[in-house]
Structure 1
Amino acid sequence: MAYDAIGSGAKKANRAMVYAGHYTKAGRRTPTVIVVKCGTEAEAASDKKPGNRGKRDSQLILMNFFSRVTYNDRMTPLDFDLFRKIHVLMGVTPDFFEVCLMVDADTKVFPESLKQLVNCMHHDNYIMGVCGETRIANKRESWITAIQVYEYFISHHLAKAFESVFGGVTCLPGCFSLYRLKARKADDDDWVPLLVKPEIVREYSQSEVHTLHQKNLLLLGEDRFLTTCLIRMFPNRKMMFCPQARCRTIVPDTFKMLLSQRRRWINSTMHNLMELVRVRNLCGTFCFSMQFVVFMDLIGTTVLPIAITLTYVLIVTLALDPPNTFEKAIPLILLCTVIGLPAVLILITTRKVVYVFWMGIYLLALPIWNLVLPVYAYWHFDDFSWGETRKVEGEGKDTGHGDSGGVATQVPLRRWEDWERSRLRKLKREEKRRREMERTYANYPGNTLRADSNTDYYDGGSDTVSVVSSEEDQWGHQIGGYNEASSMYPPPPNTLRRPEGSDSGMDSPAPHVSRYQLSDSNGYSPVMRDGPPTPIRDGQSSALYERGHAKRRSGNRHPDGEYGPLGPLGPPR
């Protein structure tokens, strides 16, 4: 399925396959949708990494999809395919979802962590993003991993916890964060788009950047830049840290990998802080404001090499000339207090003596953290590659994932109702062609297939091909025991699959169902069936209400209430 990707030239267009089914574990099934980027035909024949456009492109597939669903905007073929399969698997349209969890592939989330993050969203509607504590899974693998244990601990329990007091955590790590797609207004029944706001998606999806500042923002630290965009767009909402939610991740275990990772992180941090320090309406005032905290963080990051150098000059000076008065010993006392106070705080708050041991290892490696890594990062300000951190064969050094020459093919954009009409008409054409073949050839293979299918709900024809081309549209090969291509499991249609729906829209007004939201109790449970999925006649949708946003956008031109999941399906009668 084609979609607009992050890239330039021929790589502006990309293709992906959507596999849908159920993930089964210990007798419990979870609806699962997997998007695999495969690239165009020419790219698959020549590139070593066909379809790869980087992490930001993968995030934007999701953000663009939910943004277009929320605003009933024009969709790509990939968006429409995602819509259909989510609707079938979940029994609700995609505009029902309110939060989105982003987790890296090498991250292991603790069992109770997701519940803790959702509880934060549930108790405060103004929270638009929340992250948990990231711990190290391979802490004893080498001395490189050992020196990172305490650094990870203080970056969460000191830095993020302090920023969370102001409600402005400046970086939600992409390995484990929960974002709110949209929030319900307090005064009425409408919604405020957050992560799916078009301005956020547009700024985050820039593919052609030319300045050094823009490249450091977009190509090195996607997660931090997304947080920056949200804080800048919604300064009165909150970015929080939840210490009860925990996960473990794999960190670099060689010095070369650590250099590459921290070079990206330090350069991205500086340029994002330069963006945030210009936001005037953050929480607080003057020295007690989030803007002042960001400014001090920017200054501290910049002068780290100078600070550690002067610290060791002070230590050498005191060693050569020991102080004999209290006044001369004040610098040494302050230095010991600053270094030793975190150990006292750790013992008071966590009661884990082992972190004092990890702090000692961190202090021995302090020249690496405060001198070697920052100087290396500043020296490579113009290096925008990911280096050795997650190195894959075929990756260039100074080029982005989507840099390419040539001209991209045009990706079709149509509204949901137009895609649905085309699909239904295609089904009718194929059904007509099948019947003609059955009349001509008595042993036509379609007879056996149709005998096993549920003709009451499905009007026939293959639904494994795109409505615009001959691209494959498979649901995957027995993912979790579910395969739409099998005659045993005909795709459960809704009322839009009735033949007359292709010409005149819905047959009956939309049902007035209760809208589930995070503030409700256990009002919604995922699809859990022992047998094959049953047809969904009236899937719930927040856009089905006569008072919903779809009807208000249409100017109430449909008094009879004939709507599809995303708004009016046909012209007014």
Structure 2
Amino acid sequence: MEKKDSLILSFDVFNSLRNDISTLTVYFRKLIRKEVKHLYSISKYDYMFFTDADSFIRSGSLTRLIDEVEYRHVGAACGIVMVDFYNHFGGFWNLYQNFQYLYGQVLRRSFENIFRRITCLPGCITMIQVDEKFSHVTSDYAKMPRQSQLIQTTAQRLGTDRRLVYLIQYHQIKTCLVESAVCYTKPPHSLYRFVTQRRRWRSNAFFNSLLGVCSSRIHPIIRLSLFLDMARIALPRSTNPMLDPIGFLETKLHWNPT
């Protein structure tokens, strides 16, 4: 099961009730909830925590995320992502990835946190509040657009974290960054894995940022931030068209701006 599938499944099972769900989903939800209640004596779900299998959460981070969600009255909160130096201290890939993490979080997310509009909630340390307002996000996240909608289809298929965040902002749900909640993760340690990861991340960021820029429901300052992010991705053109989103459009649509 992939990450997007697990998110959709988790939303359908643990999120608030909706009227547009299938009979099979209702049965499956009752079965899962019955087992969870029997094993853990839990009958109500107030929060859902996202993480990755190769991540390590620092002690106390979950409590801090929940406290900030309650205190700041937001729908979701994320923590700081850092490189796990325990097994591979130093090294080019660890240092480079950690620099990127610090740049993206200390500079960009700290600025976005002022407006309670985080543009990327990392999948390795994110807490959302399970309530009625997230039912609309869940419905849109699981819905596949028509094949004629190129941008929406690409954003839906490539996007996981950013796709979810775009829908959260589209429905005007506030988010925040919690600096005291920390997650340690392992970066790629080869050029092939690095390029593969970055190609997926860049396409994900570009197309979901494009939707955010064109949406009037997104905060104006955040739309400007997303536009600058698109420019940062698109301007340094690569000789290999598959390494950047503009090259992706040229390859698939034979689109040439010149």
Give the aligned partner of residue 132 of structure 1. Answer: 79
Instruction: Give 5+ residue unaligned stretches, structure 2.
Output: 250-258
Counting only pairs closer than 5 Å after superposition, residues 314-353 of structure 1 correspond to structure 2 as none
For 2:208, the equivalent position in structure 1 comes to 272
How many residue pairs were aligned? 243
> 1:89 and 2:52 equivalent?
no
Q: Deviations over 1:455-492 (max 9, x none)?
A: xxxxxxxxxxxxxxxxxxxxxxxxxxxxxxxxxxxxxx
Residue range with higher mean Cα deviation, 160-169 or 71-80: 71-80
Is the CA contact 2:120–2:161 (under 8 Å) kept in the aligned structure 1? yes
| Residue 171 (structure 2) pairs with residue 221 (structure 1) | no
Secondary structure in 2 matching 1:154 = helix
Match of 1:122 among 66, 70, 80: 70
- Hey, what's the Cα distance between the residues in 2 that align with 1:374 and 1:133? 32
**Could you list the per-position Cα deviations for residues 419-442 of structure 1 after superposition, in whole angstroms to 9, with x for gaps in the alignment?**
xxxxxxxxxxxxxxxxxxxxxxxx
Task: Give the whole-Å Cα distance in 2 for the aligned partners of 1:132 and 1:216.
Answer: 27
The TM-score with structure 2 as length reference comes to: 0.84
Matched-pair identity in %: 21
**Counterpart for residue 240 of structure 1:** 176
Aligned mates of 1:165, 1:71 — CA distance in 2: 32
Q: Say if 2:5 is the partner of 1:57.
A: yes
Counterparts of 1:266 and 1:137 in 2: how far apart (Å)?
Answer: 23
Q: How does 1:530-545 map to 2 (within 5 A)?
A: none
CA distance in 1, matches of 2:170, 2:193: 32
State whether residues 234 and 244 of structure 2, in contact with CA within 8 Å, keep that contact through their aligned partners in structure 1.
no
Contact 2:118/2:175, CA 8 A, preserved across alignment: yes
Relative to the length of structure 1, the TM-score reads 0.40
What is the CA-CA distance between 1:226 and the residue it aligns to? Answer: 0.5
Say what the alpha-carbon RMSD is for the aligned residues: 2.5
Give 1:33-432 correspondences, 5 Å limit: 52=1, 54-67=2-15, 70-71=17-18, 74-76=23-25, 77-93=27-43, 96-125=44-73, 127-138=74-85, 140=89, 142-182=91-131, 193-195=132-134, 197=135, 199-207=136-144, 210=147, 211-234=149-172, 237-283=173-219, 289-303=221-235, 305=236, 376-378=243-245, 381=248
Q: Which amino acid aligns with 1:238?
A: K
> 1:271, CA displacement in angstroms?
0.6
Report if the CA contact (8 A) 2:241-2:248 is conserved. no
Secondary structure at the aligned position of 1:101 is classed as strand
Structure 1 residue 80, shift from structure 2 partner = 2.2
Structure richer in helix, relative to its length? 2
State how far apart, in whole Å, the 2-side matches of 1:169 and 1:295 are: 15
Residue identity in the other structure for 1:223: D
Give the whole-Å Cα distance in 2 for the aligned partners of 1:175 and 1:274.
24
Structure 1 gaps of 5+ residues are 1-51, 183-192, 307-370, 383-573
SS class of match (2:248)? coil
The question of whether the paired residues in 2 share the 8 Å contact of 1:142 and 1:253 is answered with no
SS of the counterpart of 2:120?
Answer: coil
- Higher relative contact order, structure no. (Cα contacts within 8 Å, ≥ 6 residues apart): 2
Q: What secondary structure, in the 3-state scheme, does the structure 2 residue paired with 1:381 have?
A: helix
